[in-house]
Each structure stands twice: as structure tokens, then as C-alpha cells.
């Protein structure tokens, strides 16, 4: 139960949330039905909030923020109906009803394929409501924050981002990584996990957590494949941790800031990443980093399934299924946007068809400090408002 503390974020991601939390709820329900009490276990503060985590972890596209070893498709979970009844929060079942309707409309058997499906008979009720909160944040060993512009608009903008540590159970070197939905499509993705069976069949140790473990040779598990920073081509520090240091759910400027310096210990003297969903419908990812006592190259990149057209050194057009979004880099540094391949780096790496990284590199001299901001603008966004590039630690008060 302590894994959910303090806010309900689940360190192993949404796929393992369904697995672990469903059995947890089964235990509590069994204790209640047999003994008449579950000894107030459901009142543990993190556990009592964790259903909101699962509600917000699914974007308008129906896809998870699929870190670290999670698949991408949001799953129907009867457990959410138990939470809705236990805490009298019918909005927790919002996406569950959407999945139910979609499955019924498609005459799909998806809802009865899970080992947990019989629990539908026990817990599924008729109450539902539109969620009120457009933002959610959870601290802990693998903190996350999620923001959206609407619950009812299928074209809503959705931004989800994480900090944390590669050392957590099932962890990836994905600190600072994010996903983005807009215009009914997912534009920034996580490539997801490797096949456990394939890697272990090759005799590789998939579960080592030391800095030089074989796990980090796998492309999908290291930071070279994630929407984050790479310093001098090196891996993130396994024993590092990036907590949330700023957060606001104010509608005028919902945002989060992660202190990532520990994850780049020995590589950078300082690293901060802020992410915000602007009232215009635009998203900003702002990084502030400082070189240590050496010349340093920092690569900024994000993974996308869209086709990329580089328009200038600092702007690009992303196209997918007839829709577009713009990417603009706001910085005084000399940079050149480009794409990076997501092709397998070794025989054991899975292919990543139809994907690529778009990004740029910044060269720093010893002790030089740099600020970059990447503005992502869906075509529906009202992009006329000026962008305020205050330092991220001035965005709001310390958490």
C-alpha cells in the first residue's frame, strides 16, 4: 500500500497499476464480504487517491501515458467501479464507460477477455459524471503530471510527463519524457517495453539495475529512445531521481517542473525541465541546464509517429492523417532541428516502424548555462498570444 503514497501515482505505470491494484481491491472486497471489515485499508491516503491517477493517465485518444513497461492502449478495469462506489466519485468511471460503449458499438469481446471481467457483475453501476479536474499530479518514487484542455472534446490537447528514477521497478531511463495528444491523434509517443521473453531467451539479464546493466543496452529502455535529454551521448544515472518542485493546476497556466540534476550527475551541473499547457492550446517544454567543468553537448529530442518537415533551423511541421502541428524552438542558442532514427541499434532491439525522433543539439562551454523552450502548436491553437519565458522556478511556489 505504501507504493501509492503520497498522492496515488503508481511507480510501475498504468499497465501494472491494473495488475497490482486489481488484486489489492479484490483482497479488500474479500475482507469486507467475509469479515465485515477491511480494517480501514482503503483509507490509506495514497491508495484512496490512486483511481484519479488511472483516470488521468488515459488521454483523449484512449491511449495511456505508457511508461515504463506498459502497453499503449487504455484498458477497461472493473476496479474503477469499485473505487467509484467506495469513495462516491462517479466521475472515476468516465473512461470506463467510454471503453464500454466503444466495445459494444464494435461488437468487440475485449471486455470479457480479461481475468478480471467477472468483477463487472459485482461492481459496475449506472452512475457516471464528467470529471471536473483537468490536471493531476502525483509525487512518489516515479512522479507524473497530466494536463488536458477538455474531457468531452475528442480533439482536446493532452500533455503527460514524468520525472522519477530509472531504478524503480520496471523503470526505463525516461526521466523527463512526455506524450502529447491533439486533434484526435497522438503526436509524441513512448515506444513502450521490449518483449520480456525475447530478451531473456537471448540470455540477457533484463532485470539488472546497476549503471552498466545489460538492461540499458536495450534501445527502448535507455534515454536515447525517449523524449528527454541526452548529454554527451551518455545514459541517465540509474541512482538519480527527479522530483516535482513546482506544480499548478490553475487554468490560466497549468504546469509542472522537475529537478533533474541528480539524473545527470557528472554530466551537467544543473538540469530543470518545465512543462505547461497554455490557455492557447499550445504546449511548452522548457529546459534549463548548465554544463559542468567541461565542454558539453546536450541533445533535446521527442519521439513522434508523424512525418516531419524541417522549415527552418528552429521550426518544423509535423503531419499525420491529414492533420498538422507546428514545433518551434525558442532559444538564443544556435541550433539546427533535425530527425534521428529509431531503427534498432542491435539484433535484440525491436523495430519501431513509422517513428522517428525530432530534436536538436546545444553545444555548451565549461560552466555555461542555457535555456531552451520548445513550443508545440496544434493547428486549432490560438497562437497569437506572446510566450512568457520566465525561469521555470518562477512559474509557481515550491512544492
Per DSSP, the residues of 239-293 read T--B-EEEEE--TTS-EEEEE-GGGGTTTEEEEEEEEEE-TTS-EEEEEEEEE-S
pLDDT value, residue 112: 66
- Reported pTM: 0.96
Name 282's Cβ contacts closer than 8 Å, sequence gap at least 6. Answer: 375, 376, 377, 378, 381, 383
Name 133's Cβ contacts closer than 8 Å, sequence gap at least 6. Answer: 52, 56, 249
Domain span(s) for CATH 2.70.98.70 in the chain? 135-394
pLDDT value, residue 126: 73
pLDDT value, residue 57: 97
pLDDT value, residue 341: 98
The CATH number of the structural domain formed by 135-394 is 2.70.98.70
Closest CA to 143 of 245, 287, 218, 30: 245
pLDDT value, residue 74: 84
Distance, CA of 225 to CA of 172 (rounded, Å): 10
pLDDT value, residue 109: 66
Task: Judge if the upstream peptide bond of residue 258 is cis by omega within 30 degrees of 0.
Answer: no
Cell of 128: 457516471
Closest CA to 372 of 303, 273, 292, 294: 273
pLDDT value, residue 105: 65
pLDDT value, residue 357: 98
Distance, CA of 299 to CA of 128 (rounded, Å): 45
How many Å is the maximal CA-CA distance in the chain? Answer: 68
pLDDT value, residue 90: 95
Digitized pLDDT (tens) for each residue of the chain, 399 residues in all: 999 999 999 999 999 999 999 999 999 999 999 999 999 999 999 999 999 999 999 999 999 999 999 999 888 899 999 999 999 999 999 998 888 777 766 666 666 677 888 898 899 887 889 999 999 999 999 999 999 999 999 999 999 999 999 999 999 999 999 999 999 999 999 999 999 999 999 999 999 999 999 999 999 999 999 999 999 999 999 999 999 999 999 999 999 999 999 999 999 999 999 999 999 999 999 999 999 999 999 999 999 999 999 999 999 999 999 999 999 999 999 999 999 999 999 999 999 999 999 999 999 999 999 999 999 999 988 776 677 789 999 999 887
Provide the strand spans (E) within 58-182. 135-138, 144-148, 158-162, 178-182
Helix (H) or strand (E) holding 100: helix 94-105
pLDDT value, residue 111: 66
Name 187's Cβ contacts closer than 8 Å, sequence gap at least 6. Answer: 180, 181, 304, 305, 306, 318, 320, 325, 376
Amino acid at each position: 500500500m505504501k507504493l501509492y503514497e503520497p498522492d496515488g501515482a503508481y511507480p510501475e505505470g498504468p499497465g501494472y497499476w491494473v495488475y497490482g491494484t486489481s488484486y489489492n481491491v479484490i483482497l479488500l472486497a474479500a475482507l469486507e464480504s467475509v469479515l465485515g471489515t477491511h480494517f480501514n485499508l482503503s483509507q490509506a491516503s495514497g491508495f484512496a487517491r490512486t483511481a484519479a491517477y488511472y483516470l488521468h493517465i488515459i488521454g483523449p485518444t484512449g491511449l495511456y501515458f505508457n511508461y515504463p513497461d506498459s502497453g499503449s492502449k487504455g484498458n477497461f478495469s472493473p476496479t474503477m467501479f469499485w473505487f467509484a462506489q467506495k469513495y462516491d466519485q462517479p466521475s472515476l468511471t468516465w473512461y470506463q464507460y467510454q471503453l464500454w460503449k466503444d466495445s459494444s458499438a464494435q461488437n468487440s469481446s475485449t471486455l470479457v477477455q480479461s481475468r478480471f471481467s467477472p468483477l463487472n457483475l459485482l461492481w459496475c453501476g449506472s452512475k457516471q459524471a464528467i470529471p471536473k479536474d483537468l490536471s493531476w499530479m502525483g509525487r512518489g518514487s516515479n512522479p507524473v503530471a497530466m494536463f488536458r484542455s477538455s474531457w468531452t472534446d475528442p480533439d482536446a490537447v493532452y500533455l503527460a510527463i514524468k520525472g522519477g528514477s530509472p531504478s524503480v521497478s520496471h523503470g526505463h531511463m525516461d526521466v523527463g519524457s512526455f506524450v502529447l495528444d491533439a486533434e484526435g491523434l497522438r503526436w509524441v509517443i513512448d515506444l513502450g517495453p521490449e518483449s520480456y521473453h525475447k530478451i531473456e531467451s537471448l540470455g540477457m539479464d533484463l532485470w539488472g539495475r546497476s549503471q552498466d546493466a545489460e538492461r540499458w543496452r536495450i534501445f527502448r529502455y535507455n534515454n536515447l529512445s525517449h523524449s528527454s535529454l541526452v548529454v554527451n551521448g551518455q545514459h541517465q544515472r540509474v541512482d538519480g531521481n527527479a522530483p516535482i518542485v513546482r506544480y499548478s493546476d490553475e487554468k490560466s497556466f497549468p504546469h509542472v517542473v522537475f529537478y533533474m540534476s541528480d539524473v545527470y550527475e557528472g554530466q551537467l551541473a544543473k538540469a530543470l525541465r518545465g512543462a505547461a499547457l497554455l490557455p492557447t492550446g499550445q504546449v511548452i517544454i522548457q529546459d534549463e541546464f548548465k554544463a559542468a567543468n567541461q565542454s558539453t553537448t546536450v541533445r533535446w529530442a521527442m519521439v513522434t509517429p508523424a512525418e516531419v518537415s524541417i522549415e527552418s533551423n528552429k521550426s518544423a511541421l509535423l503531419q499525420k492523417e491529414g492533420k498538422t502541428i507546428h514545433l518551434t524552438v525558442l532559444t538564443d542558442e544556435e541550433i539546427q532541428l533535425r530527425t534521428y532514427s529509431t531503427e534498432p541499434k542491435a539484433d535484440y532491439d525491436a523495430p519501431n516502424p513509422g517513428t522517428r525522433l525530432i530534436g536538436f543539439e546545444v553545444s555548451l562551454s565549461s560552466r555555461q548555462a542555457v535555456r531552451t523552450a520548445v513550443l508545440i502548436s496544434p493547428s486549432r491553437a490560438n497562437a497569437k498570444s506572446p510566450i512568457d519565458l520566465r525561469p521555470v522556478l518562477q512559474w509557481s511556489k515550491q512544492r
